[in-house]
Amino acid sequence: MLQETLMRALALILLTGLAATARAEEALPVSAPVRAAVEKALPFLEKEGVKWHTDNNCLSCHHVPFMTWTHLEAGRRGFPVDQTKLKEWLGWCVEWAEPKGGDDVLAELLLFFPRELMTEAAAQKKFESLPAMLLAKQKPDGHWDASGQFRGEQWPAREADEVTTMLMMLGLNTPWADAAKSAAIRGKANTWLNEGAEPQSTRTLTMRLLFDHHLSDHSKKEEITKALLSLQKPDGGWSWKISNAGSDPITTGEALYVLSVIGAPTWSAADRQRAVDCLLKSQLEDGSWYQDHKRISSKIRKEAKPRVDTIYSYFATGWATMGLLQLLPERAVADAGK
């Protein structure tokens, strides 16, 4: 059965470890507070992620992928994760993999979940159908149009399309996609991407850095890293819109994640610590990070507590958790919970 197969695959992944970005825990003096913050965040991600799926019968707005991804990564780092629940969430990702919430969600599924998780033929067939959906939506000039939340955020339409295009290309650069077909369309996409202007959003820089790390010759790594590091705010974090004062947890978590993944050699330990402290100080009692939609969304709501704030706060909690997790080493199953 699918669930049993997923469980066997999960056990294999937890034993072997897949991420190449694990860091020695002793290298981060505040590893205990980092682990405590993650432990606090995971129940919130589970509660609100399950509620979203139950209420809406879908994966989006990114809730179920984020919930599953954070728990997978937490399990690899020794946090106690309920495997019965996790296999159920993975089943939801297979069952509801569709562009209901935007094509970016499909690319995230390809990126978040390696083939080792899904050896069941039906699950593989479902995920193998996603690259064709994405390929069919590439425009003649090589780019993909933004969809979902990307269309309604505070950046130029061209910049939203750029981030979408990089995300699509990263998703198509996974074992789920046909390597030859993906390579055939890469040149046209790269030509379009190279015409990008100075960004207005920090997310664009983080995506450019991740894209250069995985799908380029790393020639721009130093330049992009320098630009991203220069935007670190006095409070230690980053803001979604470059011109904003102060930081946003969603952007700080994403920047922390990407800088950790690429292993930025010019990022000082002190500045990394400032980013960690920024997240630790801003975590709420329920384990979440609050994200004001007015700092990101182009459609400003007048209500005192608009529903969209809860959606952006879930994204922020997901990214903050992922960023902090990258600072902790992977552990074998036998070490879990120690």
List of long-range contacts for 255-258, beta carbons under 8 Å, 24+ apart: 255/202, 255/206, 255/228, 255/323, 256/320, 256/323, 256/324, 256/326, 256/327, 257/319, 257/322, 257/323, 257/326, 258/206, 258/209, 258/210, 258/228
Confidence of residue 173 (pLDDT cuts 50, 70, 90): very high
CATH number, position 253: 1.50.10.20
**Inter-helix orientation angle 157-171/202-215, to 10°:** 30
**Residue 7, pLDDT score:** 41
pLDDT, the chain, mean: 87
**Tens digits of residue pLDDT in 95-132:** 888 777 678 889 999 998 888 888 788 889 999 999 99
**What pLDDT sits at residue 314?**
96
Residue 57 predicted with pLDDT over 90: no
Return all residues near 150 (Cβ < 8 A) that are at least 6 apart. Answer: 102, 104, 160, 163, 164
Please determine, for residue 293, whether its predicted confidence score (pLDDT) is greater than 70. yes
* Residue 258: CA count within 13 A, CB half-sphere: 24
Q: Which residues pair with 241 in a beta bridge?
A: 201
- CA–CA gap between residue 113 and residue 193 (Å, rounded): 26
> What percent of the chain shows pLDDT beyond 90?
68
State how many domains the chain has.
1
pLDDT for the residue numbered 17:
39
Quote the domain boundaries for residue 121.
2-335
